[in-house]
Structure 1
Amino acid sequence: MSLLTALGVEKRPSCNVSTTAVLVESQGCRSKDLVNITACSGACSTYTLYSAKMKALEHSCSCCQEVVTSERQIQLTCKDNTEITYTYIHIDTCGCLEVDCSPFAHSETTNTPSRMRSRRRRR
C-alpha cells in the first residue's frame, strides 16, 4: 500500500462532464428549445504531506476542468421572428489538471514562529 493510499488520497478522481438544460438568450433573442450546456464537476486529488527527502511539506493540487472543447452553433429566435446564429463552447471531456498550490511563504500575513510570540502578564 502506498503512502498516498494510506492517507486516503484518491487514485482515480471523479471529474466528469455534467450537463444542464437551459434556454439560451443573447441580444434579446432566445432558443426555441432547451440547450444542454456542459460543465466540469467532481473531485480531484489535493494533498499536503511531509517529504523527508525535501525536509519540507510537499503540496499537490489539481482541479477539474475542460480538456477537450468544441464550438457548437444554435439558432436563436428574436421578437421580430428573425433568427440569429449563436456560437458557444461545448465541453467534450473534463480532467484533473495540476495547478499551483504552493503556500503563501512570502506573505506578510503568514504566522511564523517569530510572529507568534506569547504575551505574559506582569504581576
Structure 2
Amino acid sequence: VESQQIIVEVNHCVSAVPVNVTSCVGHCRSSSMYSAAANSMMHQCECCHEATTSMKQVELTCADGSTLQHSYSQVESCRCRTETCSAGATTRAQRRRRR
C-alpha cells in the first residue's frame, strides 16, 4: 500500500488540508514465455487490487462558505489477482523503455 497527500476537490468544494490517499501499486507478476508444447507464447498477468478498504470522511469547504462531508475509500491492504492478458497491450512506460 502506497500513500500520498492530496487536496480533495468535489463540485468546486475543497479540503482545507491535504488528505492521505492510499493505493495499490505494482509488485505483481506478469510474464511472456515461449511454450514448445503449445508452440506459442504463454502469458501470465497479475494486477494489484485492493483487498480491504475502509471508508473515510473529509470536510470540504465550498466557494460560498458552506461545508459538506465527502466520503472516500481508503485502501488498507492489497493483493495480486490473475487477469486475462491483452494481446499486444503495453503501457506507456513499457513503450518508453524500449526506445
3-state SS of paired residue (1:41): coil
Of structures 1 and 2, the one with the larger relative CO (CA 8 A, separation 6+) is 2
Alpha-carbon RMSD: 2.0
The CA deviation at 1:102 is 6.0
Q: Give the number of aligned pairs.
A: 88
The CA deviation at 1:20 is 1.1
Deviations 1:43-82 (A, max 9, x none): 3111223445555543211012222122211111123332
- What amino acid is aligned across from residue 50 of structure 2 in structure 1? E
In the alignment, structure 2 segments of 5+ residues that lack a partner are 89-99
Aligned 1:1-123 pairs, distance under 5 A: 17-51=1-35, 54=38, 56-101=40-85, 103=87
Q: What's the TM-score once normalised by structure 2's chain length?
A: 0.72
Contact 1:59 1:102 in 2 (8 A): no
**How far apart in 2 are the matches of 1:94 and 1:57?**
29
Give the structure with the higher percent strand.
2
User: Which is higher, the Rg of structure 1 or of structure 2?
Assistant: 1
Identical pairs, percent: 35
In the alignment, structure 1 segments of 5+ residues that lack a partner are 1-16, 105-123
Deviations 1:1-50 (A, max 9, x none): xxxxxxxxxxxxxxxx1111011111221111110111211231112234
